Amino acid sequence: MKLVLILVFHLLFLNAIWAQSPVQSPNNAQEAPYLKNPEIPPFRLLEVDSVHYLTRDNLKKNHKVLIIFFSPECDHCKHQMRDILADIGKFNDIEIVMATFQPFDEMKSFYTYFRISDHSNILMGRDEKYMLPPFYRMQSLPSLALYNKKGAFITRFEGNQKVDTILNGFEPKDK
């Protein structure tokens, strides 16, 4: 009986120690890929023509870049697109890359509905390999990542953002 009590006590003690051991949590998780590699990621997006692929190599040099990961059926994403298009003149020096993992036909409908082809600075494609969500550790949509003219990461946002918030994100921060 004494041996059983000692054994139970040891098991409870070991269980308490294991409960205190570190696990992967936001506080001790590895650094997100976009922070480890703070440059425009090596994405490969199937374009709306369903033939060509858009990569970071297709982006204009010395332009700011805004990567938006969205879902064509997401109301917040649609609202974000309406806001951007309402002030599209403010985005003339920014190349906008829109990516989704949703079905190709949904992306194409979104592209047509918002007349994306009317805007030469907006590029769109399907992230067939689901590369961008884990790269940015996305938790909600739309997800926006901002890069400067040299292709260096500036900041990111999740959820619907005011146009001024996005544009101010590109401005250099005073030290």
How far is residue 80 CA from its own chain's centroid? 14
Are the C-beta atoms of residues 134 and 43 closer than 8 Å to each other? no
**107 vs 7, higher pLDDT:** 107
The number of distinct structural domains making up the chain is: 1
Range(s) of the domain holding residue 57: 36-169
In a domain, 31, yes or no: no
Indicate which CATH number applies to the domain containing 143. Answer: 3.40.30.10
**7 vs 63, higher pLDDT:** 63
Q: Confidence band (pLDDT; 50, 70, 90) for 29? A: low
pTM of the model: 0.82
Residue 100, C-beta contacts closer than 8 angstroms, at least 6 positions apart = 69, 70, 71, 72, 106, 107, 110, 124, 126, 127
Percent with pLDDT over 70 in the chain: 82
Q: Which H or E run includes 13?
A: helix 2-20
Residue 155, C-beta contacts closer than 8 angstroms, at least 6 positions apart = 145, 146, 169
In a domain, 54, yes or no: yes
